[in-house]
Structure 1
Amino acid sequence: MSVAATAATTSASSSGLHAAIGDTCGICAMPLRSRLVHSLVKLQGIMLTMLGLLLVATLWTTGVIPHQRDEEAVVKVVSDAIFRDGNGDLALRSTPMLERLRAADPPPWLLVRDGTGHILKEGPVPPLYERLAGSLDDLGQAKFGWDRRPAKDDDRGAVMKRLETAAGEVQIITTTEAKLSHWKAIGWIALSFGLLTVPSLILMTLATLIATPIVVRRALSGLDELARHASQINIDKRGSRLPVDGVPLEVEPLVSAVNEALGRLDKGYDRQGRFLADAAHELRTPIAILATRLESLPPSEEQTRLIEDVARLANLTEQLLDKERLEHQRYVMQPVDLAEICARVAADLAPIAIAGGYEISFHKDADSVMAWGDRSALERALVNLVQNAIQHGGRRGAIDIAARLPAVMEVCDEGPGICSDEREQIFEPLYRVRPQSQGAGLGLHLVREIIRMHKGDVSVTNRAPNGACFKISLPVA
């Protein structure tokens, strides 16, 4: 298994995990509050409509609506049909509306009088209203009914109106119990339905708009903490789990499934890490033996290239071990002399640098430049920077290693330099300035992670007239 393939698999798994968590936390484009309000208002509208229709159907079935009072319609039909026959008596002309009124159940009764004593009766006129008719000549209109006792069949409510008709001015008395016309019945139903449903729907909608956000916010308050924890899950911080406390009961299975997936990923990462560490440990001895044998060969251009290749292989092995140390944070922090570390690295890598066509030098601002850190880890970080300069410096010029006050290490070369838009990306794992270049793309990433563990900083700038300069700043001891 190659380092690049392993790290790529890890990175892809981490990206997939973040995508899965992000999707589960916010998969719907429409907010839950808006969805609930929309659904509740729609449900309320349907329920109120069904309730209104049920009420109207009940009133219609029981006869309340068909037998509502519509005396204006009855009086109008009668007044349009009144005329005088050849004898001068009052009579009713047969009209479609009058015939429809006569066919009603029950048919209305009516009593018509003029000022000369002519009387027209139709239907069972109650004797009470026959007696009253003559005493109402001075009234233009009146309505009669019973408030204190139930009305009998022969003395139900009635209305009297004095109108100008084709037969002259007449007095019309008729019952107030008659069926409504179809259009007026429909209008009455629509009005009753509107007065019952629309205000109720408006009030319920307002209550829903106010109450739903409050209920949703309280019910889903635990998801904010869940999202915060999910955003902190990273490949470098394994062992994290999403909290279940405060999460709605419906979301708990999802959280549990994500936690189980995180556990499986942690186990997979641990297996990969152990494999890489074991492989690196196993490779150190044969690589050292190979380097020793190459150095004993007669000097030649082929020997120089082989020594460089073995040095890169040894450096890659150490990078794998550095990665394993970083994950387990196996560092011993103490005061260290950066000048001593720089001198040792310069001496160790001088043969490789000189064989690669470089001049190598070492400078220090003082006899000792003290910092706080782990000696071996800082030495490995500096080795990675020098190896990077040897590999990408163009096989010409000088490589300068320096220990600066207060607690700084620098590695500068005279190569092509680094573009400004790539100065942050080169510290990312597996990133290469030139994709076809040698190396696994781990060296600079490990440098940054080691320095971060030391609470320090690493940066890169271009030097004049050409080349790159890496600077490591550490806490002063």
Structure 2
Amino acid sequence: MNKSCSYSLRKRLFWRLLAVQSVVLILVVILLISVGKIFYFRSTEGTIDILRRAVFRQPSGELSLRETEDLRHLRKDAPDLWFTIRDRQGHNLNEGRVPEGYAGIGNRLDHIGEAEFGGNLSDHAPPAARMKWIAMDWGEVQFLTGTDGPIPLTSILFGASLIVAKLVIPIVAVMALGALIATPIVVRRSLVGINRAALEADMIDIGQRGGRLSADEIPDEIAPLVRAVNRALGRLDEGYERQERFLTDAAHELRTPIAILNTRLGSLPHGPVKTDLLEDAARLAILTEQMLDLQRLKQGKTQFTKVDLGQLARKVIIEMAPLAFAAGYTVQFDVDHAGEIEGDPLALQRALMNILQNAINHGGRKGTISLTAGRNWIEVSDEGPGIPADLQERIFEPFFKRHHDGHGAGLGLNLVRDIMYMHRGEVTIGNRSPGALCRLSFPAG
């Protein structure tokens, strides 16, 4: 699979969920700031800031206000504007109707840098106000007012940055931690059905038809894919069944013309042409029997009985020796120490014939082909070029051929492996000096 196209669903959900949550939180904060700017971002702090930028000291020491644009807007927006401004030298500047509770404060708060005064429910209590000492270039000035004015943009941004630092970032961190913990749990539970379907898909094998993926606990978004895969598996099963029926029928139909062909070839005069034709006809017969054997094994049509490995070897060598002699080989035979096993005689005969056929095809058409049997094994060897190490496992794959222009269909050794698996034995192939050696080993006892 192309790594550039793969991704982790857990990671993708985590980052997208965190991004969505963060964006929503930021938008809420921006909305609150915007609404507050329009409706609520007015306070006595804004009025004090406007007065701070407008106040100045005259040469005589008196305090005065410049007629700034902000001050004009403040007076226009707040007709009830009131404030008192004083310095530590006792100069005072008042405007508006100062509430009685604040008119006589004087210098009693000189030791306090900043204070807020809140009103209460009494009709005679003074309204809320704010007092603040601010250091100017020409001295300290005390501002006292209860009128709300617009807060400067810089103050708003500064306040917003404090909100982000003290509120948004901690909330995002908590959300990230929660998403980091919750996302894998949610994804794992959500993918239980998908993981089970993946395990079922791994267990589907060409030799076991009817396999389907379970649709239990599959998310609705994935269910169409599972159903499509199951329909595809159903079509494949139907195709394999049609193909197998065709191969079985074809193999049965070929038996008769091959038998007629062998009879007619037997009546030809001896010579190289007759030898080649007989060899080709034998290969056709073997291929036909291999196709039938494959179907018989798949259908489980096997009957286990006592099998004498010596008698089995004699029967096979009698059938295969003419083909070996015609190909230019001599045959060596030693089964005096052969034993007896439990097995299917017909299947074991076909396995041994396939091994001998493989030795005839790849033994170099010279030297000796040897067949030896022991208590629970049979060996076939030749004196050919041997088998490359990198092919000693692959030659058991179905339809694998060592040479593209070679004889056979690549079914023989695969069939041998299946037969030995059915007998709980094994087939091994290696090299000797010279040639190749194939051994069929059966369970002891």
Match of 2:131 among 146, 159, 172: 159
Write the distance in 2 (CA, Å) between the matches of 1:52 and 1:116.
Answer: 45
Q: What is the CA deviation profile of residues 190-237 of structure 1, one whole-angstrom value per residue up to 9, with x for unaligned ones? A: 333543422222211211111111111112122222211111212122
The equivalences for 1:102-121 within 5 A come to 102-104=72-74, 105-106=77-78, 108-112=81-85, 119-121=92-94
Match of 2:57 among 60, 63, 82: 82
Q: What is the CA deviation profile of residues 90-120 of structure 1, one whole-angstrom value per residue up to 9, with x for unaligned ones? A: 2415274xx5234313275333457887654
8 Å contact 1:402–1:409 — kept in the other structure?
A: yes
Q: What is the CA deviation profile of residues 129-157 of structure 1, one whole-angstrom value per residue up to 9, with x for unaligned ones? A: 33343x63875656462343268898541
Which residue of 2 is the match for residue 280 of structure 1? Answer: 251
Letter in structure 1 aligned against 2:23: I
Which residue of 1 is the match for residue 6 of structure 2? Answer: 29
Match of 1:300 among 267, 271, 282: 271
TM-score (norm 2): 0.89
1:177, distance to aligned residue in structure 2 (A): 3.2
The equivalences for 1:434-473 within 5 A come to 434-464=403-433, 466-473=434-441
Distance of aligned partners of 1:460 and 1:91 in 2 relative to their CA distance in 1, 3 Å threshold: closer
Query: Helix, strand or coil for the counterpart of 2:255?
Result: helix
Write the distance in 2 (CA, Å) between the matches of 1:169 and 1:161.
Answer: 7
The answer to whether structure 1 residue 393 and structure 2 residue 363 are counterparts is yes
The answer to whether structure 1 residue 404 and structure 2 residue 379 are counterparts is no
Distance of aligned partners of 1:341 and 1:81 in 2 relative to their CA distance in 1, 3 Å threshold: same
Which residue of 2 is the match for residue 381 of structure 1? Answer: 351
Write the distance in 2 (CA, Å) between the matches of 1:272 and 1:75.
Answer: 97
Query: Helix, strand or coil for the counterpart of 1:418?
Result: coil
TM-score (norm 1): 0.84
Write the distance in 1 (CA, Å) between the matches of 2:287 and 2:104.
Answer: 124
Write the distance in 1 (CA, Å) between the matches of 2:284 and 2:414.
Answer: 17
8 Å contact 2:119–2:128 — kept in the other structure?
A: no
Which residue of 1 is the match for residue 442 of structure 2? Answer: 474
Distance of aligned partners of 1:281 and 1:144 in 2 relative to their CA distance in 1, 3 Å threshold: closer
Letter in structure 1 aligned against 2:405: Q
Which residue of 2 is the match for residue 48 of structure 1? Answer: 25
The answer to whether structure 1 residue 145 and structure 2 residue 121 are counterparts is no
1:344, distance to aligned residue in structure 2 (A): 0.7
Write the distance in 2 (CA, Å) between the matches of 1:128 and 1:269.
Answer: 101
* Structure 2: runs of 5+ lacking an equivalent: none
Query: Helix, strand or coil for the counterpart of 2:42?
Result: coil
1:70, distance to aligned residue in structure 2 (A): 4.5
Which residue of 2 is the match for residue 10 of structure 1? Answer: none
Query: Helix, strand or coil for the counterpart of 2:104?
Result: helix
* Structure 1: runs of 5+ lacking an equivalent: 1-21
Which residue of 1 is the match for residue 104 of structure 2? Answer: 131
Distance of aligned partners of 1:143 and 1:71 in 2 relative to their CA distance in 1, 3 Å threshold: farther
Which residue of 2 is the match for residue 233 of structure 1? Answer: 204
Write the distance in 1 (CA, Å) between the matches of 2:132 and 2:400.
Answer: 102
Write the distance in 1 (CA, Å) between the matches of 2:66 and 2:350.
Answer: 117
8 Å contact 1:66–1:185 — kept in the other structure?
A: no
Write the distance in 2 (CA, Å) between the matches of 1:387 and 1:74.
Answer: 107
Which residue of 2 is the match for residue 319 of structure 1? Answer: 290
1:311, distance to aligned residue in structure 2 (A): 0.8
What is the root-mean-square deviation of aligned Cα atoms in Å?
3.0
The answer to whether structure 1 residue 69 and structure 2 residue 45 are counterparts is yes
8 Å contact 1:84–1:91 — kept in the other structure?
A: no
1:380, distance to aligned residue in structure 2 (A): 0.7
Letter in structure 2 aligned against 1:306: L
Which residue of 1 is the match for residue 320 of structure 2? Answer: 349
Query: Helix, strand or coil for the counterpart of 2:150?
Result: coil
Query: Helix, strand or coil for the counterpart of 1:81?
Result: strand
Q: What is the CA deviation profile of residues 367-402 of structure 1, one whole-angstrom value per residue up to 9, with x for unaligned ones? A: x51111100110011111111222222221111112
Write the distance in 1 (CA, Å) between the matches of 2:150 and 2:430.
Answer: 98
The answer to whether structure 1 residue 205 and structure 2 residue 182 are counterparts is no
Write the distance in 2 (CA, Å) between the matches of 1:165 and 1:352.
Answer: 119
Say how many residue pairs are matched: 442
Write the distance in 2 (CA, Å) between the matches of 1:213 and 1:52.
Answer: 29
Which residue of 1 is the match for residue 242 of structure 2? Answer: 271
Distance of aligned partners of 1:408 and 1:76 in 2 relative to their CA distance in 1, 3 Å threshold: same
Letter in structure 2 aligned against 1:381: A
1:411, distance to aligned residue in structure 2 (A): 1.1
Deviates more, 1:119-128 or 1:452-461: 119-128
Query: Helix, strand or coil for the counterpart of 1:347?
Result: helix
Write the distance in 2 (CA, Å) between the matches of 1:184 and 1:347.
Answer: 107
Write the distance in 1 (CA, Å) between the matches of 2:390 and 2:141.
Answer: 104
8 Å contact 1:45–1:201 — kept in the other structure?
A: yes
Distance of aligned partners of 1:374 and 1:178 in 2 relative to their CA distance in 1, 3 Å threshold: same
Letter in structure 2 aligned against 1:110: F
Query: Helix, strand or coil for the counterpart of 1:460?
Result: strand
Write the distance in 2 (CA, Å) between the matches of 1:137 and 1:265.
Answer: 94
Which residue of 2 is the match for residue 59 of structure 1? Answer: 36
Letter in structure 2 aligned against 1:252: A
Letter in structure 1 aligned against 2:43: H
Percent identity between the two aligned chains: 41
Deviates more, 1:215-224 or 1:269-278: 215-224
